[in-house]
Structure 1
Amino acid sequence: MISPEEQADDVEDDLVEAVLAGSRAVVGISVRSLADALESLTLQQYRVLVLICARGPLRSGALAAAIGVHPSTFTRAVDRLVAAGWVTREDNPDTRREVLVAPTDKARVLVDAVLERRRAEFEAVLERLDEQDRDHVREGFTRFAAAAGDVDLTEATALGYES
C-alpha cells in the first residue's frame, strides 16, 4: 500500500513534470522566434540589442557588466556591431567623457520583429485552447510568476525578453 506521503511525492513529481513540459514549450517558442536574428548575430550580440532597445543608450561598461563579459572583450564586440550597422557610439550628453552605445533603426526593427514573432506564436497556441483553458493558463502563469519572483533582466535577455 502507498503511504499518503508517497502519494504526495507522486503528485509533486507529476506537477514538476508538467511545469517542465510547459517551460520546454515556452523556451521552444522563444528559440524559434530568435532563429532569423541568430543568422546574422550571436546570442550575446542580440542580448546587447535587446538591452539598449529596452533601456536606451548605455555605457559600454554597464552593458559589459549586464551581459557578464570583460569590458575589453565587449569593446571588440561593439566594434563588430558598429561595423554591421546594428549600433552607434555617441557622446553622453550629460558627461562628454563617456560614450554610449545606442541601437540603430535596423536593430530596433530586428528586436521588434523577434518580439512580434514570439507574441504571434504564443497567440496561436492560446487560440487552440478553449476559453476556460485560457483562463486557467492565465491564472496559472500569473500565480507561477508571482511565486517565482522578479527575474533579473540580464537573465531574461538571454532569450531576448525585454522585461
Structure 2
Amino acid sequence: MSISRIFTGGCQCGAVRYRVEGTLADPHLCHCRMCQKAAGNYFLPLANAPRERISVTRGKPGWFKSSDIVRRGFCRDCGTPLFYEEQGSGHINVTLGSLDDPDDLRPAAQSGVESRVVWFSQLPKLPEHESNEGECGETRHVTIRDSNRQHPDYDTDHWPPEE
C-alpha cells in the first residue's frame, strides 16, 4: 500500500521540517528493540521514499548511527525522531507520527515482531479516555492548550512566531 502525493512533516518544536514528493511506501510498525529505544515507545511507525524525493525544508536534523548500517535522524532541539536511513539503500524512512497528518498512512504490516511487547494485542481492551478527562483534566487541558509551543501541523514561513 502506498499513496502518491506531497507529504510534509517535522519535529515537535518546528526546528526541522521536511517534504516528501511522491510515494511513501511500506507503511509499517517496527517492533525491533532498536526502534523501541529510538522512539522511546513500544514500536516505531515508518514508511519510505526514494532519497531524492525527500528534502529538509527547515533546519538540519541530527544523526545517530545506531549500528554499522543504520543511522537515525532527529531534531537536536526537541528530540523528535524523524528519519531512519539504511546505508546503501536508495530510500529513507520517515516516522509516520512526524507527518503533518499522521492519519494519511495506515500501517500495512509489522516488522521486528520478535521484540514486540507481549501484551500488545491487548491494547484494544484497555479503557479509553479523552485528554481532558480525569482529575484536574479540564484545567490541565486548557493550560496545555493555551501555552502550547508545539509547531502546527503545516509549513510556516518562520518559527517560532514573533511575539
TM-score for the superposition, normalised by structure 2: 0.28
Rg larger in 1 or in 2? 1
TM-score for the superposition, normalised by structure 1: 0.28
Higher strand share: 2
